[in-house]
Structure 1
Amino acid sequence: MEKTEVGKVFNYFAKIGVAAINLTGDLKAGNRIYVESSEPFEQTVESMQIEHETVREAKAGDGIGMKMAKPCHKGNRIYKIVE
């Protein structure tokens, strides 16, 4: 599995299962991501939000919110899986 780092979690809201992520690379809905955490996991990007507005894609420098399949923590790195 080849992967490219695309961001880092800067906050996680456990009650709603949403991570706030600072992107260092581009990300689109439908991309597969790998979350490096104490219990690493993969998921498909279903949707993202920027300033509470749903977006289909985001680019390096954007701060996004994303619903996560499992809990993650501040500092966890997010990778895009390259097929």
Structure 2
Amino acid sequence: MAHLLVGDDDVVRIGFVVSKAVGNAVVRNRVKRRLRHLAREHVSTLPGSAVLVVRALPAAAQASYAELGTDLDRCLQRVRP
């Protein structure tokens, strides 16, 4: 689980679930790295002390960085104040 600092005491916790259905270890780790980097770009817009779980579906293995970013942004719209 990644702990991303927002403010002084506010920490946003984001967990990534990438199952073996996504691909082998190399593919799963690539998807996690991409999602982690994308999540850092959005962390300042999330409410403080938020806890999120991001589950990657098998299609994430073939998705481009831009496609993952668009999907993550669409999902985070639900949590933003």
Normalising by structure 2, what TM-score?
0.26
- Higher relative CO (CA 8 A, sep ≥ 6), structure 1 or 2? 1
Normalising by structure 1, what TM-score?
0.26
Higher helix residue share = 2
The structure with the largest alpha-carbon Rg is: 2
Higher strand residue share = 1
